[in-house]
A and B are shown apart, each in its own frame.
Chain A
Amino acid sequence: MEWSRRAFMKGSGLALFSASFGGTPLFLSRAADAANNPLAHSRRKVLVTIFQRGAMDGLMAVTPFNDPALAEARPNLFMHLTDPKNELTDLDGRFALHPSFADLAPLYKEGRLAIVHGVGSPNKTRSHFDAQDYMENGTPGVKGTRTGWLNRAVGLLGHEGTPFRSVALTRALPRAFYGKEPSIAVDDLRSFGIQVPNNPQAAEQVEEGFEAMYARSAKRLVQRVSEESFDAIELLEKIGVRDYKPAEGAKYPNTALGRRLQQIALLVKSDVGLEVAFTETGGWDTHVQQGTTTGSFQRRADEMSKSIAAFWTDLGTYQDDVVLMTMTEFGRTVHQNGSLGTDHGRGSCLFVLGNNVDGGKIHGNVPEKLVKDALEDRRDLPVTTDFRSVFADVAGKHLNIDRSHDIAMFPGWEGERFKVMT
């Protein structure tokens, strides 16, 4: 053990500085003072987004269970409602939820969960990279856009924010967050702080050392940023990120997504000023042996629905403040391929969850029969709803961004918002 706790505790210089820190985090007191910030210390509206990377098969997640054309196109992947083994949840007589999304069914029935089907990008690329890039920069077909749509949305909120205003629970800053509004991207909030391997006690002391050193630095930029950083660390400690106990009945799966949503719930419930959160889940690229009730799709769906359901339960009275929206870069081919999987397609579906959502409905437009002539390029679920029209409605209504700003949120888009919020 190279960092001796005992040794550090005795460090005489440290006590001098520690007194001037602690107490109310500086950014909060600053924010509270700011006259133009009526929201300081009050609850804020929060938009939580989950990117399903790899392209989810929307036709398996929310399946048109009595379409004979789909049954024919997918001899091994079609799920019949009548087969009890499938345990589909009939949503509206036409579409059914995959059994591994069953945890979301009650939310749908309560009218909090909406599904938009046939959603996607006007740009026809079937490259994951390009399609994700476009969905995150919010300008399909234009690669050069410097900023991400969520960063622009944050810029349109019209009030001051805290360092926790925009948080991505991801390893690297997601494209959707690129831009001038400050964001935090961290894989695990518990690792946000000074880390001394094998010696958490020493870490506190080192942290104080750095804090003092930076506080007196003549380099104004890092001086300011470090102040925010250390305030943020302190705040995370205060809200107990390390020993957070979710609310009764919220059973997060012990997976990356489960942990990330749990940490987002904690931020929401701690009133630290979170307004936009982002996280992601991978492995939806089911080219081979996609499976039905078991297999790669099923495992992903199971993790996701359990995580979201636990998140929602965990929020408790904060549910009114939060809207959660999922997204995926495109859908998959209507026909199964030679490896019992599906290939890159076009339209997919997304979920919007919240108390102000026009839920309990399947929005959007899916052809009555998925025969070839009804498909996009004779192979894919047609994109009938531009993802921007949904994102603009959800972010716009929930975060109170005026319609007139939609063009700033999605440059070059002049469409109408797709009504999915009440």
Chain B
Amino acid sequence: MILRFALAVLCCGALLAVAPAEAGLKLPYKAEGLSKEQAAAYLLERFAFGARPGEVEKVAKMGPEKWLAQQLKGNLPDAALEKRLEAFPALKMTQEKMAEVYVNNGRIRRIVAKAGLIDPAKTPRKEMNEKISAYRKEHGLRPYGMLSNQELKGQKLMRAVYSENQLTEVLTDFWFNHFNVTTRDGGARSRTLSYERDAIRPNVLGNFRTILGATAKHPAMLYYLDNAQSRMAPPSEREPAKPEPKKEMATGEMGMDGGMDGEMMGGEMAKAPEKAPAKAQTPPRRKRKYGLNENYARELMELHTLGVDGGYTQRDVTEVARVLTGWAAAPYGNGRKNIEKQMANGNENNILQGDFVFRKSWHDDKAKVVLGEKFPAGGGLEEGERVLDMLTSHPSTARFISTKLARRFVNDAPSDDLVDQMAKTFTKTDGDIAAVMATLAQSRVFWAEAKKRSKMKSPFELAVSSLRALEADVKNPQPMMRWFDRMGEPLYGYLPPTGFPDYAESWANSGTLIARMNFGIHLATGRINGVTLKRLPEDSSGLTTEEALAMYSKLLLPAQDTSAIVSEVKQTIPADAERKEVQVISMLLGSPEFQYR
């Protein structure tokens, strides 16, 4: 035993140097009266989307500490998931490629018209649609809605259900919501998949400064919170403005959106005015609107870092907005090539970093004062980086982030003491998220919650934990999406930058609680297309109510005292009911107990 422990330490030794936080985890579950199995089950509810059959035993056997250490690294092989993700080709495309392949109705109409196949003013609608869909097929162009509806949402569900790196997925859900953008925003919509893939997921266990910088520079965020439009008039602006090439601007479509009725929007949406119709008018003198937009600067401090009472003023908001003028989305196509060419020639007017570009000519280069610190004139891109550094190391940020993590992982009203401990780690490690998570996991407060199970599952957590416990084979994730809508969590569909509120009252209202019960019934009765449950035989298993209850309460509420819920459910199952297991599962999934973790 001792030997095995020593070996484990030795094995981990090589990694110690890179990630000190993961070494020597001490989880005080025994002190809170929990067995190893109970500790494993609790960890799987909090640091994963619930236990799969046999997983509690597996984690208990390997040791909760070791399991957690693996999760904090987040690099377990994930072959089975990778296979399932092949159904989502966009995951392998660059943002620009996605923009090329997934085209909305407005754009495809223009393309097909240009090819001379239709005349939008004359061709009858039906014929026009046929021509368009034939053209799509021929050129491998996919409908715009597929990107954000089928692929983006589908991959989220698949990863949550099947990934071995569960904590990475839980934290991806957390950090996405923390740095919320939404596919209902025309500017963010086509870029949300890339946002999660490139800015969020790779950084969820890394350094806070990294994920902050990645979101700050991602076009989805730049458009969603309008920083892409926040710009100073360039020195040359005193002359009439040249219209900016903004062809790539998102002209999305709202149809098929999770949060909205299918046909609600019907047409295109554009942040920028559409291109002027070819003939109708002499192009209006479209004056480029210069001016500061404070949306991002405000939310950067209020929601992403310091918190609303974090000690900044309206003056700071304005100053940070000025600092961030010129932070913009890289153009596609020739625009990008031109910038690359300029950079190669030593021209520093634009600095390209992946999908981000710093446009010097849009930047307000005068002196500024942020949170009491002086920024001399001419700081350029670097002064924005400096602001992000300052915000990361600000004590308010350490507290704010720690509070939010504790609220997600511990309870709705985390104790000051726990938040203090976490904030201390945050500060000491310069924002090492894995280290902060390790502090949380090693606190007594965290383990004291195990028996209370006071954290209400979000609809996504509820659904995914059901699918995992019953070993679902999700062939098509799409039919699940309307359940998320009904239960009050349309995926990627929360409009304000706050993200979904993370406390029980916000999830439980008359409509959504009933929807949760209905979800369980539909899942158990096989009425969610595309999903089959390996733990539920297609034909009657012939189990008695007691047998079914024993079996499924263990799967759904492992390592817990389920005597109360078992007797509750038992009363609802008639003695001569057919397929008792189906009814047992329905009642368990909809039970108050299963709504909590």
User: For residue B385, which residues in chain A have a CB less than 8 angstroms away from its CB?
Assistant: none
| Contact with A125, one of B125, B271, B573, B592 (Cβ below 8 angstroms) | B271
B561: Cβ under 8 A from any A Cβ: no
| Contact, CB under 8 Å: B485 / A171 | yes
B583: Cβ under 8 A from any A Cβ: yes
B164: Cβ under 8 A from any A Cβ: no
Nearest residue (CB) in B for A163 is B510
Sample 13 A-B pairs with CB under 8 A, ordered by A number: A3-B577, A10-B574, A54-B254, A127-B270, A130-B271, A171-B485, A195-B522, A219-B592, A280-B261, A282-B263, A282-B265, A337-B277, A379-B284
Nearest residue (CB) in B for A167 is B511
| Contact, CB under 8 Å: B572 / A14 | yes
User: For residue B509, which residues in chain A have a CB less than 8 angstroms away from its CB?
Assistant: 182-184, 225
| Contact, CB under 8 Å: A378 / B577 | no
Which one of A228-236, A238-246, A318-326, A396-404 is at the B interface? A228-236
Main secondary structure, interface of B, reads loop
User: For residue B575, which residues in chain A have a CB less than 8 angstroms away from its CB?
Assistant: 10-12
A280 to B121, CA, bound (A): 29
User: For residue B264, which residues in chain A have a CB less than 8 angstroms away from its CB?
Assistant: 53-54, 280, 282-283
A209: Cβ under 8 A from any B Cβ: yes
| Contact, CB under 8 Å: B592 / A344 | no
| Contact, CB under 8 Å: B577 / A4 | yes
Contact surface of B with A, Cβ cutoff 8 Å? 106, 109, 120-121, 125, 184-187, 225-226, 254, 258-261, 263-274, 277-281, 284-286, 295, 298-299, 302-303, 456, 482, 485-486, 488, 490, 493, 495-498, 504-505, 508-511, 513-514, 517-518, 521-522, 525, 527, 568-579, 582-583, 586-587, 590-592, 595-596
What distance in Å separates the Cβ of B76 from its nearest Cβ neighbour in chain A?
34
A223: Cβ under 8 A from any B Cβ: yes
What distance in Å separates the Cβ of B480 from its nearest Cβ neighbour in chain A?
15
| Contact, CB under 8 Å: B578 / A2 | yes
A216 to B486, CA, bound (A): 25
Closest 8 CB pairs of A and B: A285-B267, A209-B572, A282-B264, A13-B571, A11-B574, A337-B277, A283-B266, A339-B120
Nearest residue (CB) in B for A329 is B269
| Contact, CB under 8 Å: B266 / A284 | yes
A226 to B106, CA, bound (A): 45
Nearest residue (CB) in B for A342 is B277
A173 to B513, CA, bound (A): 14
Quick one: given A146-B498, A225-B509, A343-B273, are A288 and B120 in contact (CB under 8 Å)? yes
| Contact with A10, one of B254, B303, B510, B576 (Cβ below 8 angstroms) | B576
| Contact with B525, one of A2, A146, A175 (Cβ below 8 angstroms) | A2
User: For residue A296, which residues in chain B have a CB less than 8 angstroms away from its CB?
Assistant: 266
Nearest residue (CB) in A for B453 is A219
| Contact, CB under 8 Å: A335 / B280 | yes
What distance in Å separates the Cβ of B584 from its nearest Cβ neighbour in chain A?
11
User: For residue B299, which residues in chain A have a CB less than 8 angstroms away from its CB?
Assistant: 143-144
A197 to B523, CA, bound (A): 11
| Contact, CB under 8 Å: B273 / A126 | yes
Quick one: given A2-B578, A213-B591, A288-B109, are A338 and B508 in contact (CB under 8 Å)? no
A145 to B261, CA, bound (A): 24
User: For residue A280, which residues in chain B have a CB less than 8 angstroms away from its CB?
Assistant: 261, 264
| Contact, CB under 8 Å: B279 / A186 | no
| Contact, CB under 8 Å: A222 / B592 | yes
| Contact with A338, one of B120, B456, B485, B571 (Cβ below 8 angstroms) | B120
User: For residue B184, which residues in chain A have a CB less than 8 angstroms away from its CB?
Assistant: 129
| Contact, CB under 8 Å: A210 / B268 | no
> 8 Å CB contacts to B: which residues of A135-157?
137, 143-146
A379 to B504, CA, bound (A): 48
A130 to B109, CA, bound (A): 25
A170: Cβ under 8 A from any B Cβ: yes
A418: Cβ under 8 A from any B Cβ: no
What distance in Å separates the Cβ of B529 from its nearest Cβ neighbour in chain A?
12
| Contact with B260, one of A171, A284, A343, A344 (Cβ below 8 angstroms) | A171
User: For residue A285, which residues in chain B have a CB less than 8 angstroms away from its CB?
Assistant: 265-269
Nearest residue (CB) in A for B254 is A128
